[in-house]
Amino acid sequence: MAELPSSVRIREVGPRDGFQNEPETLPTEVKVRLIELLGQTGLRRLEVTSFVRADVIPQLADAEQVLAAVRLPPEVSVSVLIPNERGLERALRQRECFHEVNGFLSASETHNERNVGRSVEQSLAGLRRVFARAGAEGLRCEGVISTAFGCPYEGHVPVERVLGVARELAGAGAVEVGFGDTTGMANPLAVREFFERAAAELPGVELTAHFHNTRGQGLANVVAALEAGVASFESSFGELGGCPVPAGATGNIASEDLVSMLAEMGIATGIDLAALLDAARAAQEALGRPLGSHVLRAGPVDWH
């Protein structure tokens, strides 16, 4: 068996990836309260919002207000999702409130066109400009590749294509590249083989795995990524988030499920599971419905 990392870094994406997929819009003050609860869990990376057009994702229309109001411990690195140069300009008006920018695109042409109305090359061109400007501002840049393990429209996405996009992002200034299993099409064997190859072809780049639990394989894919040496993951408290294609898809892997499993495996995260569960319960109460997290329902393992 491959030697597993002794510790991992987790970026919590629920306040962005989760809230944007909710049918209703949470009040700004509720979002701020939930983000601040997450900030008290020991999480060191938080994606708090996205500077997208309000008519496209009205759930995140209050990005400026959330970013200005939230108060987090100084050791928490705050990131925002940036769709384009206009979004970056909006974000930079509050440059003192965040530390990282995450720029995104899809590996498949069809998904990228339907998601952002651009070709992959057009998105790459825009991200080159975004990362150049963000880097000049002293911001850390992450490139996020959706449909990295399969596309709901095109099916199989060649590994060569995904890694080609990743190399372009790294060349544009991304020091971290996240690979998203957007609709839960990955399997553990494919994940392990993919990240072994990615590590060989992208030396010096932090590789981050972003899994969805659409078909119940999210945590199995995490273990496969760990076996390939991945030590950076994204997850969402309460299993919030997801993709509207396919119908009935669940959200991202739940942060509390991830933290609980890693703790049982002896892998350090620095995150207080009890505090994280409190945050997930608060989100559940705010949304007025049960959330999908397994540990939220069953509780953590108790050996006593």
The residue behind tokens 């945590």 is: 219
Q: At what angle do helices 188-201 and 159-172 cross, to 10 degrees?
A: 40
Q: Is 136 exposed, middle or buried (0-12, 13-18, 19+ CB in 10 A)?
A: exposed
Instruction: List pLDDT tens digits, range 154-191.
Output: 999 999 999 999 999 999 999 999 999 998 999 999 99
What average pLDDT does range 136-153 have in this prediction?
97
Residue 124's SS3 state is helix
Residue 150's SS3 state is coil
How far lies 127's CA from each of 54, 170, 249, 250, 294, in Å? 20, 11, 28, 29, 36
What average pLDDT does range 41-48 have in this prediction?
98
**What band does 244 get if pLDDT is binned at 50, 70 and 90?**
low
Active site residue 141: no
In this predicted structure, the answer to whether residue 245 has a pLDDT above a threshold of 70 is no
pLDDT at position 242, please?
Answer: 76
pLDDT at position 304, please?
Answer: 65
pLDDT at position 4, please?
Answer: 97
Please state the separation of Cα 160 from the chain's center in Å.
22
Domains of the chain (ranges plus CATH)? 9-298 (3.20.20.70)
Structure tokens at 256: 């509390």
pTM score of the predicted model: 0.96
DSSP string, 247-293: TT---BPBHHHHHHHHHHTT-B----HHHHHHHHHHHHHHHTS----
Which residues lie closer than 8 Å to 286 by C-beta, 6 or more apart? 26, 30, 34
In this predicted structure, the answer to whether residue 248 has a pLDDT above a threshold of 80 is no
Q: What is the mean pLDDT of the chain?
A: 95
Instruction: List pLDDT tens digits, range 54-68.
Output: 998 999 999 999 999
